[in-house]
A = this chain, B = another copy of it.
Amino acid sequence: MNAGRELSASLEDYLEAIFCIIAAKGVAHAKDIAKRLRVTASSVTGGLQALAKKNYIRYTPYEAVTLTSEGEKLAKDVVRRHQILKDFFTNVLAVDEKLANEGACKVEHSIPPPIVEKLVSFMEFVEICPRGGQQLVDGFRHYHKTGSKENCKRCIVPSLEKLKKGKSKTKGKANMTLAGLKPKQKAVVIRIERRGPISRRLADMGIGRGALVDVERVAPLGDPIVVKVKGYHLSLRKEDAAGIIVSID
């Protein structure tokens, strides 16, 4: 037993694989799981039996497997840890995608959840820091590639100007709702207007004033809108998004 965790690393990987395969192809067959995890089909059967006994999946021999709601919750959590780590490895540490994925899929099982949350928080902060957090990261990538700190010295100037401009603009800046944002825009939550299932869902994830929201996709008519916030990927109906007051930088 992976001390303190619900599941062992191995069973987390089976669950993660099942979730991802269902997401991609609709149903999860043992063969796909085996291929993805590079184990034999008989090992998969063993894993499925273990997950079924713990009630994370519905398993009938020879049939495709489905996730219980418990299993789906846990699977999403594994996937989230994976994504966050991969994000950090690629976007901050400039690790190439393949290694970042491999590393994330190992580390995801051993890193303590509170440290994952700190990591999310740190990456958010880097994105919004007026001191040029993102540029610091860019500077690091350049430094790492070339060994030169030149770029770092040079780009502080534009970074400052941007900051000053931002400052004077702040007063006249109008707040808006999440429903009005476009893909790739970032915003900070000011407050959540309406009370109800959505605001509770947000609160459960610790999303409130000050949280950074990252718009990922907006469907043709603005409904639904997919955002990333605190490392979670969220799909919101336009109606609900309109209840979230945000401020853009």
- Contact (Cβ within 8 A) B99 A112: yes
Within 8 A of B (CB), among A137-156: 139-140, 143-144, 147-149, 152-153, 155-156
Q: A99-B115, A114-B99, A115-B93 are in contact. Are A130 and B156 (CB under 8 A)?
A: yes
- Contact (Cβ within 8 A) A110 B112: no
A109 interface hit (Cβ, 8 Å)? yes
The residue of chain B having its C-beta at the shortest distance from the C-beta of A170 within the complex is B153
- Contact (Cβ within 8 A) A136 B140: no
Copies in the complex: 2
- CB-defined A-B contacts under 8 Å, sample of 21: A89-B115, A93-B122, A94-B118, A95-B114, A95-B115, A100-B115, A102-B112, A103-B112, A106-B110, A106-B111, A107-B107, A109-B110, A121-B143, A130-B153, A131-B132, A131-B136, A131-B139, A131-B156, A131-B159, A148-B210, A160-B160
Chain A residues with a Cβ under 8 A of chain B? 89, 92-95, 99-100, 102-103, 106-107, 109-112, 114-115, 118-119, 121-122, 125-126, 128-133, 135-136, 139-140, 143-144, 147-149, 152-153, 155-156, 159-160, 163, 167, 209-210
The 9 closest A-B pairs by CB, nearest first: A106-B110, A93-B118, A103-B112, A125-B140, A131-B156, A103-B115, A147-B210, A107-B110, A110-B110
